[in-house]
């Protein structure tokens, strides 16, 4: 894994080669406002080191991004009046990832915001859930 990909838009933002509105940064992460925000305060958290996605990020960089996301979420609630926060990661093009530099979206939620995510919770098939559990956990039955 290279620390910097000269073709990556997020690497260019981290390096200061492209403008951004940074709201937080530390030794390992940079957090900046999304230019296509879902809600006011929608922030993107990226590791300074280039890595493509959730499957390739180091545990240390993932932890650093989560800590940064928590800081930004607290600010959104304290300073913007958000009533909640969605934390979102898209891993792979099948999950709508469009920039292949790991990133977390911190999306502040407001009582009257119009954002609706595509998933609406509904009861699942218990047998299917049990079979999925057996597959993921390695514990048949």
Q: Using 50, 70 and 90 to split pLDDT, how confident is the model at 60?
A: very high
- Which percentage of the chain shows pLDDT scores above 90? 75
Closest CA to 34 of 74, 78, 88: 88
Per the structure block, which two tokens stand in for 110?
């407001």
The residue from 101, 103, 105, 133 that is catalytic is 103
Domain membership of residue 39 (yes or no) is yes
Q: 133 catalytic, yes or no? A: no
- What's the domain range around 72? 9-137
* DSSP of 66-78: HHHHHHHHHHHHH
Domain membership of residue 3 (yes or no) is no
Domain membership of residue 67 (yes or no) is yes
The CATH number of the domain holding residue 77 is: 3.30.428.10
Domain membership of residue 1 (yes or no) is no
Burial state string for 75-97 with b = 16 or more CB within 10 A and e = fewer than 16: bbeeeeebeebeebbbeeeeeeb
Domain membership of residue 51 (yes or no) is yes
Number of domains into which the chain is organized: 1
Q: Using 50, 70 and 90 to split pLDDT, how confident is the model at 135?
A: confident
Domain membership of residue 22 (yes or no) is yes
Per the structure block, which two tokens stand in for 26?
């530390």
Q: Using one digit for the tens of pLDDT, what is the confidence trace for 82-125?
A: 999 999 999 999 998 999 999 999 999 999 998 887 766 678 88
Q: What is the mean pLDDT of residues 54-64?
A: 98
Q: Using one digit for the tens of pLDDT, what is the confidence trace for 115-134?
A: 887 766 678 888 988 888 88
Domain membership of residue 4 (yes or no) is no
């Amino acid at each position: 894994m290279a620390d910097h990909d000269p073709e990556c838009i997020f690497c260019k933002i981290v390096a200061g080669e492209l403008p951004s509105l940074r709201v937080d940064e530390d030794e390992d992460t940079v957090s900046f406002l999304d230019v296509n925000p879902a809600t006011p305060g929608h922030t993107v958290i990226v590791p300074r080191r280039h890595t493509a996605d959730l499957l390739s990020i180091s545990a240390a960089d993932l932890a650093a991004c989560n800590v940064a996301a928590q800081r930004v979420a607290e600010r959104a609630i304290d300073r913007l009046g958000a009533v909640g926060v969605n934390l979102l990661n898209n891993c792979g093009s099948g999950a709508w990832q469009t920039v292949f530099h790991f990133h977390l979206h911190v999306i502040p939620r407001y009582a009257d915001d119009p954002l609706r995510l595509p998933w609406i919770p509904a009861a699942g098939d218990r047998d299917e859930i049990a079979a999925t559990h057996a597959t993921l956990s390695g514990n048949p039955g």
